[in-house]
Amino acid sequence: MSSFRNHRVIIASLFLPTTAVLGESSPPTPDHHVTPDSEPTVPQSNGGNQKQQPSYRQRQPGHLPLVSIVDDLRSRAITPLASPQSDIPNPFTRFVNIASPRPGTTPRSVSARTPALSNSNNESSSDSNTSSQIPALDRSFTLLRPRKFQTTHQDVQHSARLQRKQSRSSSRRPKSVARGSNPDGGYQPWHISPNTHCNGGLKNAVDSAKGRLPRRLWVGTLGSSTDGFGSEMRTNIDKRMRDMCDSVPVWIPDGEFESCYDEFCHQVLWPCLHYAVPDAPKTKYFYESASFKQYRSVNQRFADVIVENYHEGDIIWVNDYHLLLLPGLLRSHPKTALAPIGFFLHVAFPSSEIFRCLSVRDSLLKGVLGADLVGFQTANYARHFRQTVSRILAYESLPKGIQVEGPVAPVSTGGEAENEWRESAEGKKPKEKGRFVDVGVFPMGIDVNSLREKKRNPEVDYWVQLLRQRYAGMKLIVGRDKLDEIQGVRHKIEAFEHFLKTNPEFQGKVVLIQVALQTTESNELAGGVSDVVARINAAFSTLTYQPVVFLHVQEVTFSQYLALLTVADAFMVTSLREGMALRTHEYVECQEERKRALILSEFTGTYSYSGFRSCFAVNPYDTRGTAKAIYQALTMSDEEAASRWQDLHNHVVTQTAQTFVTSFLTRCLRAHTEHASLSIDPSLVPPLDLPRLIPKYRHSTTRLVFVDLEGCLWVRDMSKSAMIEMMRTGKGPMVEPPEATMRVLEKMAGDPKNEIWVLSGLPVKGALERLAQRVPSVGIVAENGCFVKTREIGNKSNGQSNGARWINMVANLDFAWKVPCIEILNYFTERTPGSFVEERATSVVWRFWTGPPDSTVSIDDDPTIATSTSDTSPTTTNAVTSSPSSEAHHSDRSWARRQAAEAQNHIFDSLGERYGLRIIPGQNSFLVLPNNISRSTAVGTILHPGGPACSPLGGGAGVGDVDYDGYWSSVTIGGGTGRTTSSTGGRVSSAEESTLVLAIGGDEKLLRRLNELDDAETVSTSRRGTDAKWKLDPREVQGVLETLAQIR
């Protein structure tokens, strides 16, 4: 499989990393203040530019202006308790918060400055009260606009939650330019600028992996009003953005985007994904979802742009909840139907009980399932998604992913793709087989190397020193969140209030500095932060102390933010629901010197990882518990703090942004390759041509033959009566291989040129023991690779087999998982009629269905050959007719399959990661066994010279000692290297002599690997898509081997 480095990656995100800004060049001073047409324009004085008011603080007419909370406190009646005018609450305002040193100059000390008024920036009327307090700038500083730093996804992407009309039209560029635009849509001067609305975490992650991602193309919107852009200007922007930024803009009408973004994304999807199902009056938005038409239209525009720019071989990476429909739209288009598509959700995913409240739930889920891989931040979110799909769409949900039935249903209305889908669904066209969608977990991280470089900036050290002077003798708690309800800022501040009340010795000695990110007015008011801050500051403030310092993100530069993280005594996150809180990663890295505490909500995705369990975990709803955690964090010993920090830091430096990008894209490409092979029309694979195989077989000096037992040589009776007989007596057609199978193996093994290996998923005791006694010269792989019986070499002596023995390949593994696994399966057995548990030496099988199949008789349903058995038996297809009893059986079987999916998910979630288990699903049963054990692994031990099965005496090494699966990279059959030569009579062991490898079975992974060997002939017995060179009906396998056995 080729690496993703050889592919171009198309990255679809709602906002591009860069945007087009009207004007000749980036202004050296803050932008002009943008005033709506209905409001009077504030006159400019001295030719200066008016400071732009942050977009999230702009208010609709009729609402009172909401200024910074620190400024708001000054206007209240509690003024006597507030800090004096000469002591600015904002720690950076006193040190000129919009200044940075010129290159080559040294800032003078703060005490050397002369506090004089500055008229270079005239504030709007709402900020006029505070403008006079800003001291004169040091001449060694130059004016810089306070910039919004982009560090983590969660903080940057959703910072665009603002009023769309203002953000895309008036508030994004100077008013004078907007009014001077060409009414005919002609060309206007513009320049490229960083997009503050973009997904910062994604951008930083992609940039960190640029060495491994040489070719990429961003697809997204500009994040500004574009209705006034003419065709000439749009063409120019398209060209320059493509050439300079590897970006392609998606042009969306402002009204359509506003309805999609502000209404559906933020009033419907965002609350739902974060467990905040709204009550009235928002119920109409949530349940009727009228804006879903615009949401679908926006996704369709993205699909059109991607299809237009797609080239064969590209990987399409769709990001976040704004584009849930996009994978399905791309999959239903003929040009991108076979493209590798990955979808990653950067936020949380709720339980099915929450998601089912959405009226458009089916369309959203089917849209996501158009991808080859669906990625989430945590295992919990992935499990919620699988369960939601299973319960709402009734698809089979497995630990690895989702089995989607039938073709992908397009989410768009009308069009050729939808007509074709309807024809297929109605039976007018041959019904397509389903497809499998992988579901994986990919925790996002930060670019540690980049952050370390930024920490070494002299400006950061400068602000660190000033902050230490400013808060000498005090403890600092730092937070950085949006002001909406979900971020839990109110819960944080109330816990801090309780901490001060219950620990009066800390009053006047602890300060909470809260950096507030952009959000909408409604969210800010719903957060209810202002009143709480006012109450606390009124109760605990003195002339020299203010317990809560509130800063808007525009008032803090990135260097200042890093300085805050460096001097903090604790960092506090109390989100009620959140994905990966990457700001905690930044804090841990910035604490490399001090190693102080992290207080983290249990409801964040970050906390779900073991590396972050060394934090102080809190339940934000428990005010007393959170206050207690604050006390513990501030009073713990340095040794404990260093130990906790080390655990946190180990996770931060290992789960980086580069790891996130490479693991996701690698998994996406692998999933697509596997799905593509399974989606190949079996009719395109030629049937086995014996006349072509026989000459190669006859003239080969040595032959290595691998053949499946169940489903190929032995089509077992899986009826209920046969199972009952097996359970009662240990005998019957389920455990006794037919005589014809024994005879054909004896004939094949009797040829000295042949080395025969039988691959099985059955336990050692029973059928395989009988086979080993009857044909000792045949090698056997049992329990799907857990046990290997070497071939007997030479003649029998004294009734004993010479050299043949059973080797336990999992002797060093822990099987403590079997007891809880069986308990879980017994629970589901009580609720599933006819099911039973079958315990084996190293694995457990649950047979959840023992009645007749849906419409056909299964060839063999042992789960160990789930990938090798075909779905139906042509000989009995017409024997089953529709009847009331068959409909009842179908209903019972559907229930059994649902129970099986629930059981698999439960076992995987509770035991899979802890014990390293994997689950192999079958038609009527599934198998649980240790990970890294498979038939492919067992064949690796057979082919490699150091493998335990290669020596007649066997070795005792197990998988815990050697990675035999890795032997494939060094194995070459017929190429001059590989297996050792042995002079033992009758044994084929020389790579130069083994000129033919013949594999007959249905394990696609094994067949795919054997295809890489020289002179290998692979034959698939499944009716699914395959990479094998030939296909063969399982009923014909025995006849083919009979024919080959006659050739000498």
**What is the pLDDT at residue 1035?**
87
Residue whose entry in the numeric block shows the structure tokens 């054997």: 1010
Surface-to-core class of residue 46, CB atoms within 10 Å of its CB (0-12 exposed, 13-18 middle, 19+ buried): exposed
| Structure-block tokens of residue 109 | 């000390």
Average confidence (pLDDT) over 473-501: 92
**What is the pLDDT at residue 893?**
79
> Radius of gyration over alpha carbons of the chain, in Å?
34
H or E element in which residue 782 lies: strand 779-782
Task: Let me know: does 192 contact 20? Beta carbons within 8 Å.
Answer: yes
pLDDT band at 145; cut points 50, 70, 90: very low
pLDDT in tens, 861-897: 455 444 333 333 333 333 334 455 555 566 777 888 8
Closest to 195 in 3D by CA, of 174, 217, 213, 172:
172
On the question of pLDDT at 68 being above 60, the answer is no
Looking at per-residue pLDDT, the higher value among 289 and 753 belongs to 753
In this structure, the number of other CB atoms found within 10 A of the CB of residue 424 comes to 16
**What is the pLDDT at residue 77?**
31
Task: Let me know: does 143 contact 51? Beta carbons within 8 Å.
Answer: no
Residue whose entry in the numeric block shows the structure tokens 């206050």: 627
Question: Which residues contact residue 829 at a Cβ distance below 8 angstroms, ignoring those fewer than 6 apart?
Answer: 835, 836, 837, 846
pLDDT in tens, 286-304: 556 678 999 999 999 999 9
pLDDT band at 1002; cut points 50, 70, 90: confident
Long-range contacts of 504-510 (CB under 8 A, 24+ apart): 506/475, 506/631, 506/634, 507/540, 507/547, 508/540, 508/542, 508/545, 509/473, 509/474, 509/475, 510/474, 510/475, 510/476, 510/477, 510/547, 510/634
On the question of pLDDT at 32 being above 50, the answer is no
pLDDT band at 913; cut points 50, 70, 90: confident
Task: Let me know: does 741 contact 690? Beta carbons within 8 Å.
Answer: no
**What is the pLDDT at residue 794?**
63
On the question of pLDDT at 480 being above 60, the answer is yes
Closest to 978 in 3D by CA, of 1007, 1012, 1002, 1006:
1012
Question: What distance in Å separates the CA atoms of residue 252 and residue 323, rounded to the nearest whole number?
Answer: 14
**Backbone dihedral angles phi then psi of residue 277, each to the nearest 5 degrees:** -65, 120
Question: What distance in Å separates the CA atoms of residue 864 and residue 866, rounded to the nearest whole number?
Answer: 6
pLDDT in tens, 424-462: 444 444 444 578 899 999 999 999 999 999 999 999 999
Handedness of CA 425, 429, 430, 436 (dihedral sign): negative
pLDDT in tens, 688-715: 999 999 999 988 888 999 999 988 888 7
**What is the pLDDT at residue 889?**
62
Question: What distance in Å separates the CA atoms of residue 233 and residue 222, rounded to the nearest whole number?
Answer: 13
pLDDT in tens, 329-341: 999 999 999 999 9
Q: Where is mean pLDDT largest: 303-317, 802-816, 1034-1048?
A: 303-317
Which alpha helices (DSSP H) does 408-488 contain, by range? 416-425, 448-455, 458-470
From the centroid of its chain, how far is CA 995? 44
Question: What distance in Å separates the CA atoms of residue 268 and residue 263, rounded to the nearest whole number?
Answer: 7
pLDDT in tens, 222-241: 988 889 888 889 999 999 99
**What is the pLDDT at residue 266?**
86
The least confident of 426-430, 909-913, 940-944, 1000-1004 is 426-430
Averaged confidence pLDDT in the chain: 75
Q: Give the burial string for 288-321 (b: 16+ CB within 10 Å, else e).
A: ebebbebbbbbbbbbbebbbeebeeebbbbbbbb
Task: Let me know: does 630 contact 600? Beta carbons within 8 Å.
Answer: no
On the question of pLDDT at 966 being above 60, the answer is no
| Structure-block tokens of residue 501 | 């009340």
Task: Let me know: does 880 contact 856? Beta carbons within 8 Å.
Answer: yes
pLDDT band at 58; cut points 50, 70, 90: very low
**What is the pLDDT at residue 291?**
85
Strands 917-921 and 925-930: antiparallel
Question: Which residues contact residue 351 at a Cβ distance below 8 angstroms, ignoring those fewer than 6 apart?
Answer: 384, 387, 388
Question: What distance in Å separates the CA atoms of residue 896 and residue 921, rounded to the nearest whole number?
Answer: 13
In this structure, the number of other CB atoms found within 10 A of the CB of residue 651 comes to 20
**What is the pLDDT at residue 418?**
45
Question: What distance in Å separates the CA atoms of residue 367 and residue 385, rounded to the nearest whole number?
Answer: 13
Q: Hey, what's the torsion of the CAs at 586, 150, 511, 528, to 10 degrees?
A: -120
Report the DSSP beta bridge partners of residue 515.
480, 551
Question: Which residues contact residue 193 at a Cβ distance below 8 angstroms, ignoring those fewer than 6 apart?
Answer: 18, 19, 20, 21, 26
Average confidence (pLDDT) over 612-623: 93
Q: Where is mean pLDDT largest: 297-311, 379-393, 914-928, 1022-1036?
A: 297-311
Q: Note the pTM of the prediction, 2 decimals.
A: 0.69
CA separation, residue 906 to residues 387, 515, 828, 836 (Å): 11, 41, 10, 17
Instruction: Please spell the DSSP secondary structure of 90-154, one letter per residue.
Output: STTTTT-TTEEEPTT--PPPGGG-------SSPPPGGGHHHHTTSPPPPTTEEE-PPPPP---HH
